[in-house]
């Protein structure tokens, strides 16, 4: 089932989550434990992150450095199949522009189509490793181009002219940024990019994490004024470590509200920080629900215990 259909079908509040594949060589059991811990709360869909290759410099015995290129967390498509067929939940694997050619993207979409996966999240991705494509290959520079490629395949249009090509059937989600994308010169410019992704065929958007609901409400109002009508799902994260005060703004270009930051700084240890983070997320979630939001999306990675404690407090049906 398409995520857009799930959103339109559900009458009451529900959750979705994002998880990350285990690091290369990691235990897949950690993934199973994370998903199974969430089953009592019936997440309607689960996003699985994807990562492009990264350049890693390894020191050699002679003191020189060897350049290696590899993906730290492969396995997105395999985990998508497990989520769908073992757990009966709709998977949403991430597809990236950076680090992948359009030809590789087409192959990936064909594999997902064969697996029966019907949802993807189209992202530009981080430019950690931008390998130059071969002369016979092309790239998507922006998420809107990736959306256009996916929607083209939904119409049976492939990169090569194929006779009687089978159309795919993907629902495409995209990202939205209540505090604007860090590369955008201003919020209006960023909203226009979201409008372009909608017009290209995106069925819904999930926001970057935020800790102040006012950013979401203001963003949503401005989006509607511009004619953006697709569902915009709020993305939430539970702050669990003191280091999050510094790492989250640096990595995700978001703001930590002053009262939350002050409370975390006064905490004696990360156990207290986690309790503060859960309480903050609880008030955030309740405020969103009271404003009519149905779908709360949580960035959990593979660490679900804080979300489980939050769900006990929320007591959603």
- What is the enclosing helix (H) or strand (E) of 171? strand 171-176
When pLDDT is averaged across residues 103-128 and rounded to a whole number, the result is 92
Q: Does 130 have pLDDT greater than 60? A: no
Q: How far is CA 233 from the centre of its chain?
A: 11
Confidence of residue 64 (pLDDT cuts 50, 70, 90): low
pLDDT at 78: 93
Buried b (16+ CB within 10 A) or exposed e, 223-239: beeeebebbbbbbbbbb
Query: What's the rounded Cα separation, in Å, for the pair 106 and 277?
Result: 40
Q: How far apart are the first and last CA of the chain?
A: 21
Token digits of residue 267: 């905490």
Domains in the chain: how many in total? 1
Task: Answer whether 129's CB lies under 8 Å from 54's CB.
Answer: yes
Query: What's the rounded Cα separation, in Å, for the pair 196 and 189?
Result: 11
When pLDDT is averaged across residues 29-55 and rounded to a whole number, the result is 88
Q: Where are the alpha helices (DSSP H) in 226-317?
A: 244-252, 258-266, 270-290, 305-314
Query: What's the rounded Cα separation, in Å, for the pair 190 and 184?
Result: 6
Main-chain phi, psi angles of 280, to 5 degrees: -65, -45
Give the pLDDT confidence of 270-303 residue by residue, as tens digits: 999 999 999 999 999 999 999 999 999 999 989 9
Token digits of residue 238: 């539970």
Rounded to two decimals, what is the model's pTM?
A: 0.91
46 forms beta bridges with 17, 91
Range of the domain at 45: 3-314
Task: Answer whether 163's CB lies under 8 Å from 145's CB.
Answer: no
Query: What's the rounded Cα separation, in Å, for the pair 187 and 315?
Result: 35
120 forms beta bridges with 172
CATH number of the domain at 56, please: 3.20.20.220
Give the pLDDT confidence of 197-242 residue by residue, as tens digits: 999 999 999 999 999 999 999 999 999 999 999 999 999 999 999 9
């Amino acid at each position: 089932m398409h995520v857009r259909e799930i959103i339109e079908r559900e009458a009451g509040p529900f959750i979705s989550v994002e998880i990350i594949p285990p690091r290369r060589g990691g235990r897949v059991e950690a993934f199973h434990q994370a998903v199974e811990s969430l089953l009592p709360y019936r997440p309607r869909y689960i996003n699985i992150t994807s990562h492009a290759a990264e350049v890693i410099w390894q020191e050699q015995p002679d003191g020189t450095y060897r350049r290696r290129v590899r993906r730290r967390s492969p396995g997105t498509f395999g985990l998508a199949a497990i989520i769908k067929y073992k757990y009966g939940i709709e998977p949403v694997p991430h597809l990236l522009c950076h680090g992948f050619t359009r030809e590789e993207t087409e192959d990936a979409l064909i594999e997902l189509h064969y697996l029966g996966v019907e949802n993807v999240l189209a992202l530009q991705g981080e430019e950690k490793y931008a390998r130059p494509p071969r002369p016979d290959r092309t790239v998507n520079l922006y998420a809107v181009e990736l959306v256009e490629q996916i929607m083209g395949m939904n119409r049976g249009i492939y990169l090569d002219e194929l006779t009687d090509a089978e159309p795919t059937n993907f629902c495409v989600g995209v990202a939205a940024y209540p505090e604007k994308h860090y590369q955008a010169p201003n919020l209006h410019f960023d909203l226009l990019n979201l409008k372009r992704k909608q017009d290209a065929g995106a069925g819904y958007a999930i926001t970057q994490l935020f800790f102040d609901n006012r950013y979401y409400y203001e963003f949503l109002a401005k989006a509607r004024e511009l004619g953006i009508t697709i569902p915009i799902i709020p993305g939430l994260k539970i702050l669990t470590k003191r280091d999050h005060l510094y790492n989250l703004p640096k990595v995700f270009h978001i703001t930590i509200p002053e009262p939350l930051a002050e409370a975390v700084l006064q905490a004696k240890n990360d156990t207290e920080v986690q309790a503060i983070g859960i309480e903050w997320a609880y008030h955030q979630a309740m405020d969103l629900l009271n404003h009519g939001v149905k779908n709360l999306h949580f960035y959990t990675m593979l660490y679900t215990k804080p979300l489980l404690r939050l769900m006990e407090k929320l007591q959603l049906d």
